Amino acid sequence: MTSHGSGSRPEAREIYRSTKTYDHNEGLSCCFRQWRATHSHCRLIHGYALAFRFVFATHELDERNWCLDFGGLKPVKAWLKHMFDHTMLVAEDDPELARFEEMHRDGLVDLRILPSVGCEATAKHVFDHVADFAQRETGGRVWLESVEVKEHSGNSAIYSR
């Protein structure tokens, strides 16, 4: 850190940020069951065409002067489609999990079992996966700063670390 005399603040490092959005028109339409929402209709099966906004950050741009090569995110998009394209999200502790697993076996739902379900929990789940991807693909040069998951234009959740 560089100091500029007594009482000066240390010199801050520059941070470059870039964003990538997969909007509602991507076809990431999935159903949720939030069994713990006993006071709300959210305990019932309901669905959204989800949208995702990622904020990536770095202290150093690459040789092209980019934070992140968006063309390299094809595996992320494929994973999002696998997780959220016409799928059913259920929590691993859902008391009705066996019924959902039976429907999956019968070809009635394409089941995804997550540690917990909800917009906030989904944002964390996606963050964990994409943060690992960014770390691996850039050798630690780029980090994922936040993920925003939008159910629709009125509701979203943001997870960051």
Positive or negative, the CA dihedral 134, 121, 152, 30 is positive
Question: In this model, does residue 7 exceed pLDDT 80?
Answer: no
Assigned superfamily of 16-160: 6-pyruvoyl tetrahydropterin synthase/QueD (3.30.479.10)
Sequence ranges of the domains in the chain: 16-160
Mean pLDDT across 91-111: 98
Closest by CA position to 138, among listed 79, 77, 53, 66: 66
pLDDT digit string, tens, across residues 10-46: 778 899 999 999 999 999 999 999 999 999 998 999 9
CA distance 145 to 161: 7
Instruction: Check residue 4 and give its pLDDT.
Output: 52
pTM: predicted TM-score of the whole model, two decimal places? 0.90
Query: Distances in Å between the alpha carbon of 103 and those of 19, 70, 143?
Result: 37, 37, 38
